[in-house]
């Protein structure tokens, strides 16, 4: 049994527990291996019920949740259940690329996603990035920022347009806040990933596009957000 005694070369940070809800044994074992090597305690569940039990009992730092699970609850339903009682960070594992929009669009409160097949190394980097974010929230500015006719209150995490208050997911809000804090500057997808998702997040730049699409859908013309073709985005 591993009694973590600060093994040579390993990182110091007090790593937490990760619950992995995945019925595919091969993937579960691979993820387990990499997360353990990265210093995490890993608990596995093969279905959603067991996963929810583990979260309730063990209060993990993070949950990896496969969408396609056997039994009465799939991963999406499990995520919804989870959010009724917990704000633990969740990374969704999807089998299909075309599920991504659905996953992010449903506002399940998931923090990130990976698409199978994924690199376990990349997954570990994302887990770390999310936990870093969860630990160290930035200090919000006192005054609300206005972009176009959108007002972003960093302190209250509230967004208003002439049409009223708009509800954003945590990630959408952080992305909008970053645009609002950098008006007139062209931001590449990679810069946005680094700033909003955290450096060390080696994920798909399409994540940014998906979130931008959501912002545009929710804020409409109130948000002066331009696509700079081949480069990224600029908010004026
Ligand atoms: Ca599965």
Task: For the domain made up of 145-235, give the CATH fold.
Answer: Arc Repressor Mutant, subunit A (1.10.10)
| Residue 231 predicted with pLDDT over 90 | no
What pLDDT was estimated at residue 103?
66
Pairing relationship of beta strands 41-45 and 17-21 according to DSSP bridges: parallel
Distance 93 CA to ligand 1 centre (A): 9
Least confident of 13-17, 114-118, 203-207: 13-17
What pLDDT was estimated at residue 165?
95
Model confidence over 73-88: pLDDT tens digits? 999 899 989 988 888 8
**In the predicted model, what is the mean pLDDT of residues 53-66?**
94
Distance 165 CA to ligand 1 centre (A): 38
Pairing relationship of beta strands 232-235 and 186-188 according to DSSP bridges: antiparallel
Q: Which residues pair with 196 in a beta bridge?
A: none
Distance 153 CA to ligand 1 centre (A): 40
Distance 145 CA to ligand 1 centre (A): 43
Distance 24 CA to ligand 1 centre (A): 5
Is the bond leading into 85 cis (omega within 30 degrees of zero)? no
Distance 118 CA to ligand 1 centre (A): 14
Model confidence over 19-50: pLDDT tens digits? 999 999 999 999 999 999 888 999 999 999 99
Distance 105 CA to ligand 1 centre (A): 20
C-alpha span between 142 and 148 (Å, rounded):
19
CATH classification (class only), 17-135? alpha beta
Model confidence over 89-136: pLDDT tens digits? 899 898 876 666 666 655 677 888 888 888 888 899 889 888 877 765
**Alpha-carbon distances, residue 25 vs 21, 51, 90, 117 (angstroms):** 10, 15, 20, 14
What are the domain boundaries of the chain? Answer: 17-135, 145-235
Distance 22 CA to ligand 1 centre (A): 6
Report residue 9's pLDDT band, with 50, 70 and 90 as the boundaries: very low
Distance 85 CA to ligand 1 centre (A): 24
Distance 72 CA to ligand 1 centre (A): 13
Distance 25 CA to ligand 1 centre (A): 9
Instruction: Give me Rg for the CA atoms of the chain.
Output: 19
Distance 68 CA to ligand 1 centre (A): 4
Nearest to 40 by CA among 130, 128, 135, 129: 128
């Amino acid at each position: 049994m591993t009694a973590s005694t600060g093994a040579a070369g390993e990182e110091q940070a007090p790593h937490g527990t990760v619950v992995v809800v995945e019925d595919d044994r091969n993937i579960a074992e691979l993820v387990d291996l990499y997360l353990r090597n990265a210093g995490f305690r890993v608990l596995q569940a093969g279905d959603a019920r067991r996963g929810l039990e583990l979260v309730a009992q063990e209060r993990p730092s993070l949950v990896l949740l496969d969408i396609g699970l056997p039994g009465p609850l799939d991963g999406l339903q499990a995520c919804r259940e989870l959010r009724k009682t917990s704000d633990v960070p969740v990374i969704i594992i999807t089998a299909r690329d075309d599920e991504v929009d659905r996953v992010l669009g449903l506002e399940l409160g998931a923090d990130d996603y990976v698409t199978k097949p994924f690199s376990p190394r990349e997954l570990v980097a994302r887990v770390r990035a999310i936990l870093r974010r969860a630990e160290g929230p930035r200090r919000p500015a006192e005054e609300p920022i206005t972009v176009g006719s959108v007002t972003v209150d960093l302190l209250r995490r509230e967004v208003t347009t002439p049409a009223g208050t708009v509800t954003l997911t945590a990630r959408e809000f952080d992305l909008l806040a970053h645009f609002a804090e950098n008006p007139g500057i062209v931001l590449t997808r990679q810069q946005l990933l680094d700033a909003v998702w955290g450096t060390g997040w080696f994920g798909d730049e399409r994540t940014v596009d998906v979130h931008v699409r959501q912002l545009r859908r929710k804020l409409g013309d109130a948000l002066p957000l331009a696509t700079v073709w081949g480069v990224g985005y600029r908010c004026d």
